[in-house]
Each structure stands twice: as structure tokens, then as C-alpha cells.
């Protein structure tokens, strides 16, 4: 009997010791605020930038090519909403030391958790596939050939590299690589300048936007907001913060990480809109590859390769973050061991989910001429439908004084949070309603 109890208590003791060990990292030799910030920097920046994935780049490119700079205001709204949501999740990760799925299971029961995790798994699988399609598209951009055989080399090698990096590395090493991948987004900055935009018009569109009541325009605005706030980002940032072991008295640095990461991500998205708006407007663009090819004709090869580098970096980062957030969420929800620093033998379910999603995505991407766009649209709609429900869970949890103590939302922050829920819910309902109506009318 004693031996059995000791075995049962050992994993809990190990987790406690690991958590204490992780938290102690930031208390040792960190007398400078500058060093503390760079020690904690990571989860917020990575999560926000992962939202600028292949689907996001396609949405931003289409918006710029169709409406030029008229939708830049929507990015400002999306960035504000994203910063609010990410901050609440990061705060819960620091105070509770638990991931979002873990808290949902504890507070709302297994049934709600099972439904949420099933939807998360299906939606994230579809979006992960789109990220590897983005990697394939970037290869086609560099080769300037949609039929280049290099796709069948680069895609599986990228999948293998991501798998090896996560399964064989520690959290700190993986986080540094993710941060390095985020630098790929900087390629969109010179690409924007190379396309020679009218910066006065850009500034005017942000400060005094021209908002149209046209259905297509409103749908494009909804898509911009919807692609910026994704459920997997919230699961990832909270799990990463909890896994990293950031202490409550140093949360201010994580808050800076969240806010600066959101600002950086929104600026990059803005540069994509500006690039395509300057070079392609008023043309119709259906995917990132088409946008890059058009840039090659209208703005020169320099913009083409910068756009391709940005697309590759964006897709590669999201292709790693999406399977990770899925594995974190499911394992937290059902009590399985999880963590980047754990091996297959220590966290078999976690590593199997991560590995399985990468293998499935690579295999599907390798199918020649696969008509997958319609399927991805449906899966992305399911992903968007999860957002309002997830936001309600987040606000209820962050206001639970038993969990958060004095770190619950204040009155002003709650007003902003619920306003964000109402806004995002209205946008998602508009998006889904328009999609369903278009399908019925088209049928």
C-alpha cells in the first residue's frame, strides 16, 4: 500500500519540483530589468506572430489587392482585441501555473472539455495542413514555378526538422528557435518600401478610414479580424507561460512580451496589406502564390523574394506552434503528461499528437493537385466559430477569485473584455452567416 501511494505521488512531486526549478531560473542572476525582460520574452511574441500564418498572409494580400489601404483600420481593432485576450491568458498561466484546457476541465467538467478539444483538434488539423501548403507555396515562389519538384523535398524536410527540434529539444532551446523564425516576418518591411506606397494615403486610411457598407467589404473586414484572433494562440500562450514557470512578481515583463508581440504582429500584417495594396491594387488575389507572382511583375523580383521569405517563415512558425498548441490543449484537458522538454517515454500522448499532426499535414500537402481549398474554408469557419465560446470561458476563468485571487479583472478591464466578446461574436456570426447564405445562393 505504501509503495503504491509513493508511486502515485511521485509524478506530482516531480511536476512540483520542475515547476519550482523553472521559476527559480528567473530569480537567479537577474538583477537588471533588461535581463529579466529578455529572459521572459517569448510566449506572447511567438503566439501573436503565429497568427500571421499562411491563411493570414492570404487574407492580408487579398485585402490589400482588393481594397488597397481601406481595411488597415480593421487590423487596429483586431490588434486591440488580441492584446486583451492574450494578456488574460498569460496572466492565468502565471498565477495558476496551468494551461487553459486544464482550467476549463477543472471548472466546467469533462463534457464541455471533450467538445472543445474535439473541435480544437479538427480545426487545428485543417489549419496545420494550410501551413504546410504555405511552405509549399513559398518554394514555388522561389522557384518561380508552380510545378517545381523541390516542393517534394522541402516540405518533408521542413516537417522532419520541426519534429526533431521539438521532440529532441528543451523548452528554452525550442523557444529561441521560434523567436528566430519570427525574424522572417521582417522581410515584409523592405517589401512594403520596395512597392513604393503613398505613405500619406496609408496614414490617412488608418486615422480617418473610409468604411463601406458593401457586403464584400464587410466580409473582408471580418476575415481580417477573424484571422488575427485564433483559439490555438490562446492555448499556446497560456501553456507556454505555465511551462516556462514565470513567477507572479515578474509578470509585468510577460505583459510587456504580450503587448509588444501583438504590436509587432499587427505591424507586420499591416506591411503585407501595404505591400499588396501598393503593387497589386485593384487586382483580385486568391492565394499567397498568386500575390507573389503578381508582385514579381509589378514591383520587381526583389519584392517577390522578400514576400517568399516572409511566407516561408510565417508558415514554418505556425506549422510548429499549431501542433504544439493542440498537443498541449488535449493533454492538459485529460491529465496526460505534456511539455516540450519531455521525451516520448515521459509524455507519449503529447509527443504522439504533435508527431501525428505533422505527418498527416506533410502527406496531404504532398498529394498533387489536391482540391483542398473548399475543405480548408470549412475548417477555418469552424476555427472561427470557437472564438466567442473560448473567450467566454477565458473571461469567466480570469474573474474566478478562487483561482486568481487579487489578479482578477478590474471593472474597466471587464468592460473592455466583454465588449471584445460582443464585437468578435458579432463579426464571427456575420462571417458564418454570409458564408452559409453564399453556399445556399450558390447551390
Q: DSSP for 326-337?
A: HHHHHHHHHT--
Cell of 237: 500562450
Which pLDDT belongs to residue 156? Answer: 93
Q: How many whole angstroms separate alpha carbon 262 and alpha carbon 78?
A: 10
Between residues 5 and 190, the one the model is more confident about: 190
Dmax (CA) for the chain in angstroms is 76
Which pLDDT belongs to residue 104? Answer: 87
Q: Helix, strand, coil: what percent of the chain each, to 5?
A: 80, 0, 20
105 vs 243, 255, 393, CA distance in Å? 18, 25, 11
Q: Is the peptide bond before 92 cis (omega within 30 degrees of 0)?
A: no
User: 325-363 pLDDT, tens per residue?
Assistant: 788 888 878 878 877 667 777 788 888 898 999 999 999
Count CA atoms closer than 13 A to 31's CA, side-chain side. Answer: 1
Q: How many whole angstroms separate alpha carbon 283 and alpha carbon 404?
A: 50
- Residue the block writes with cell 458593401: 214
CB 314 within 8 A of CB 182: no
Cell of 230: 485564433
SS3 (DSSP) at 303: helix
Whether the pLDDT of residue 172 is over 80: the answer is no
Cell of 52: 500571421
- Give the rounded percent of residues in the chain with a pLDDT score beyond 70: 72
pLDDT band at 396 (very low <50, low <70, confident <90, very high): very high
User: 315-327 pLDDT, tens per residue?
Assistant: 887 788 788 878 8
Whether the pLDDT of residue 304 is over 60: the answer is yes
392 vs 99, 236, 379, 388, 397, CA distance in Å? 16, 17, 21, 6, 9
204 vs 80, 188, 218, 263, 408, CA distance in Å? 19, 21, 19, 19, 38
Between residues 380 and 123, the one the model is more confident about: 123
Which pLDDT belongs to residue 24? Answer: 41
Give the burial class of 21: count Cβ atoms within 10 A of its Cβ; 0-12 exposed, 13-18 middle, 19 or more buried: exposed
SS3 (DSSP) at 152: helix
CB 239 within 8 A of CB 323: no
Between residues 12 and 441, the one the model is more confident about: 441
Between residues 296 and 19, the one the model is more confident about: 296
Whether the pLDDT of residue 268 is over 90: the answer is no
Map out the domains of the chain with their CATH numbers. Answer: 42-441 (1.20.1740.10)
What is the average pLDDT score of the chain? 75
Between residues 432 and 113, the one the model is more confident about: 113
Contacts 24+ apart (CB under 8 A), 419-424: 420/80, 420/81, 420/84, 420/85, 420/391, 421/388, 421/391, 421/392, 421/395, 423/77, 423/81, 424/81, 424/225, 424/229, 424/387, 424/388, 424/391
pLDDT band at 17 (very low <50, low <70, confident <90, very high): very low
pLDDT band at 35 (very low <50, low <70, confident <90, very high): very low
Q: What's the whole-number mean pLDDT along residues 240-260?
A: 80
Whether the pLDDT of residue 193 is over 70: the answer is yes
Contact residues for 412 (Cβ-Cβ < 8 A; gap 6+): none
Whether the pLDDT of residue 236 is over 60: the answer is yes
Cell of 245: 514557470
Q: What's the whole-number mean pLDDT along residues 212-219?
A: 71
Contact residues for 257 (Cβ-Cβ < 8 A; gap 6+): 37, 40, 41, 42, 43, 44, 45, 90
Between residues 310 and 181, the one the model is more confident about: 310
Q: How many whole angstroms separate alpha carbon 126 and alpha carbon 122?
A: 7
Which pLDDT belongs to residue 67? Answer: 87
Which pLDDT belongs to residue 400? Answer: 92
User: 411-439 pLDDT, tens per residue?
Assistant: 888 888 888 788 777 776 776 676 677 66
Whether the pLDDT of residue 241 is over 60: the answer is yes
Whether the pLDDT of residue 18 is over 80: the answer is no
Which pLDDT belongs to residue 290? Answer: 65
Q: What's the whole-number mean pLDDT along residues 206-232?
A: 75
- Give the rounded percent of residues in the chain with a pLDDT score beyond 90: 6
Contact residues for 435 (Cβ-Cβ < 8 A; gap 6+): 377, 381
Q: How many whole angstroms separate alpha carbon 137 and alpha carbon 151?
A: 8
Q: What's the whole-number mean pLDDT along residues 138-164?
A: 85
Amino acid at each position: 500500500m505504501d509503495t503504491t501511494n509513493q508511486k502515485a505521488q511521485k509524478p506530482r512531486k516531480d511536476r512540483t519540483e520542475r515547476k519550482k526549478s523553472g521559476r527559480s531560473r528567473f530569480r537567479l542572476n537577474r538583477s537588471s530589468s533588461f535581463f529579466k525582460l529578455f529572459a521572459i520574452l517569448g510566449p506572447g511574441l511567438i503566439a501573436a506572430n503565429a497568427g500571421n500564418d499562411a491563411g493570414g498572409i492570404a487574407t492580408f494580400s487579398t485585402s490589400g489587392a482588393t481594397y488597397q489601404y481601406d481595411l488597415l483600420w480593421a487590423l487596429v481593432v483586431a490588434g486591440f482585441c488580441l492584446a486583451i485576450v492574450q494578456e488574460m491568458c498569460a496572466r492565468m498561466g502565471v498565477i495558476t501555473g496551468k494551461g487553459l484546457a486544464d482550467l476549463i476541465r477543472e471548472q466546467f467538467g469533462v463534457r464541455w472539455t471533450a467538445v472543445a478539444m474535439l473541435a480544437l483538434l479538427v480545426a487545428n488539423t485543417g489549419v496545420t495542413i494550410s501551413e504546410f501548403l504555405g511552405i509549399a507555396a513559398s518554394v514555388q515562389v522561389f522557384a518561380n514555378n508552380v510545378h517545381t519538384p523541390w516542393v517534394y523535398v522541402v516540405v518533408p524536410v521542413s516537417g522532419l526538422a520541426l519534429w526533431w527540434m521539438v521532440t529532441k529539444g528543451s523548452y528554452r532551446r525550442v523557444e529561441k528557435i521560434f523567436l528566430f523564425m519570427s525574424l522572417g516576418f521582417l522581410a515584409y518591411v523592405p517589401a512594403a518600401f520596395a512597392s513604393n506606397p503613398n505613405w500619406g494615403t496609408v496614414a490617412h486610411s488608418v486615422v480617418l478610414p473610409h468604411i463601406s457598407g458593401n457586403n464584400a467589404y464587410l466580409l473582408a473586414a471580418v476575415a481580417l479580424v477573424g484571422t488575427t484572433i485564433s483559439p490555438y494562440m490562446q492555448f499556446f500562450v497560456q501553456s507556454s507561460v505555465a511551462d516556462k514557470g514565470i513567477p507572479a512578481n515578474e509578470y509585468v515583463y510577460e505583459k510587456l512580451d504580450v503587448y509588444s508581440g501583438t504590436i509587432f504582429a499587427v505591424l507586420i500584417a499591416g506591411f503585407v496589406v501595404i505591400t499588396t495594396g501598393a503593387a497589386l491594387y485593384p487586382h483580385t488575389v486568391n492565394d499567397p502564390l498568386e500575390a507573389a507572382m503578381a508582385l514579381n511583375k509589378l514591383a520587381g523580383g526583389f519584392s517577390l523574394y522578400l514576400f517568399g521569405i516572409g511566407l516561408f517563415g510565417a508558415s514554418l512558425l505556425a506549422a510548429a506552434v499549431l501542433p504544439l498548441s493542440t498537443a498541449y490543449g488535449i493533454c492538459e484537458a485529460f491529465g496526460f503528461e505534456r511539455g516540450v522538454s519531455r521525451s516520448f517515454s515521459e509524455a507519449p500522448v503529447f509527443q504522439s499528437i504533435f508527431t501525428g499532426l505533422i505527418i498527416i499535414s506533410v502527406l496531404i500537402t504532398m498529394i498533387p493537385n489536391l482540391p483542398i481549398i473548399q475543405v480548408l474554408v470549412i475548417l477555418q469557419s469552424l476555427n472561427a466559430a470557437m472564438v466567442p465560446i473560448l473567450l467566454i470561458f477565458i473571461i469567466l476563468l480570469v474573474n474566478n477569485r478562487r483561482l486568481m485571487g487579487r489578479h482578477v479583472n478590474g471593472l474597466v478591464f471587464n468592460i473592455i473584455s466583454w465588449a471584445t466578446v460582443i464585437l468578435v461574436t458579432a463579426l464571427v456570426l456575420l462571417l458564418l452567416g454570409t458564408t452559409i447564405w453564399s453556399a445556399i445562393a450558390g447551390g
